[in-house]
Amino acid sequence: MSVKTSQTTPAALPPSVFTLSPTAQLEALYTIIRDKTTSRGDFIFYSDRIIRLLVEEGLDHLPVVPKTVQTPTGSTYEGVGYEGKICGVSILRAGEAMEAGLREVCRSIRIGKILLQRDEETTLPKYYYSKFPEDIASRSVLLLDPVLASGGSSMKAVEILKEHGVPEERIIFINLISAPEGLKAFCTKYPAVRVITGWIDKGLNEKAYILPGLGDFGDRRYCL
């Protein structure tokens, strides 16, 4: 049976935005994590499955160079190898949930951290702390945050990475779910950053939660 999937795709996505193929399998995974009756254990298990798909998609965007190897049959194979070094950077707290998925495919990858918190007076994200590999300016960065809602936190994170010398072209922002408003704001401000998103939802409510969304990702993963 073919299933009609329900992703809201803005008419023309900016060229820097890449989505996972909205297959029935992917929609089934999202249906589980959106369901408010899903247990914390299942939320972790099924969101991890989506994270793994997203990380694989993100790795597709890393630069490669020609690489020739000899195979056990005595043949020469002209393939490719990754060019340069990479690192992950997670936006705390929710972004930490994506680190294990990244480590599963990039064994000893270095991971930096950025701690931001919403300033209740201004509603803007306030910067508290960051720690990066010393040579981050020469690495490609996979920026990890599961939710792109209004875009405030991810835009602040890119600003901090740029201050540390990472050019926009070398940042790949990976998230599970995004709102069109945040996606538009982010891509307008940072058109050269590639965005890998698993699903684009309908929009935001007055409290900046994504609709239909999945609730507070960090609470569902760590607290509920």
Tell the smallest beta-carbon distance from residue 115 to ligand URA (Å): 16
Binding region for ligand URA (CB under 6 A) out of 35-43, 48-56, 70-78, 206-214: 206-214
Give the Cβ contact number of residue 192 at 10 Å: 11
Both structure tokens of 131: 């720690």
Least CB distance from residue 130 to ligand URA, whole Å?
20
Q: Which residues lie across from 131 on neighbouring strands? A: 113
β-sheet bridge partners, residue 92: 115
216 is catalytic: yes
The angle at the Cα of 92, spanning 216 to 124, to the nearest 5 degrees, equals: 75
Helix runs in the chain, H state only: 24-34, 40-59, 99-105, 152-163, 180-189, 217-222
User: Cβ of residue 42: shortest distance to ligand URA, in angstroms?
Assistant: 17
Rounded to the nearest whole angstrom, what is the least distance from the CB of residue 210 to ligand URA in the complex?
4
Determine the interface stretch with ligand URA among 79-87, 95-103, 136-144, 214-222 (rule: CB under 6 A): 214-222
Task: Kindly state the smallest distance separating residue 30's Cβ from ligand URA, in Å.
Answer: 13
**Count of residues of this chain found to bind ligand URA when the rule CB under 6 A is applied:** 9
Asked if 22 and 199 count as a contact pair (C-beta separation under 8 A), the reply is yes
127 in contact with ligand URA (CB under 6 A): no
Q: Would you count residue 147 as binding ligand URA (CB under 6 A)?
A: yes
88 binds ligand URA (CB under 6 A): no
Among the listed residues 8, 23, 118, 135, the single catalytic one is 118
Per rule CB under 6 A, is residue 18 in the interface with ligand URA? no
Question: Is 118 noted as a catalytic residue in this protein?
Answer: yes
- The C-alpha atoms of residue 202 and residue 120 are separated, in whole angstroms, by 25
Q: Please identify, using beta-carbon distances, which residue of 58 and 213 lies nearer to ligand URA.
A: 213
How many Cβ atoms are within 10 Å of 182's Cβ, its own excluded? 26
By DSSP bridging, strand 147-148 and strand 171-178 are parallel
Residues 150-179, mask of contacts with ligand URA (x by CB under 6 A): ------------------------------
209 contacts ligand URA (rule: CB under 6 A): yes
Q: Is 21 exposed, middle or buried (0-12, 13-18, 19+ CB in 10 A)?
A: exposed
Contacting residue, 149, 174, 187, 200, with ligand URA by CB under 6 A: 149
Residue 219, SS3?
Answer: helix
Residues linked to residue 50 through DSSP beta bridges, in sequence order: none
Structure tokens at 195: 């965005």
For ligand URA, the binding residues (CB under 6 A) are 147, 149, 208-210, 213, 216-218
Q: Hey, which residues are catalytic here? A: 118, 122, 216, 219
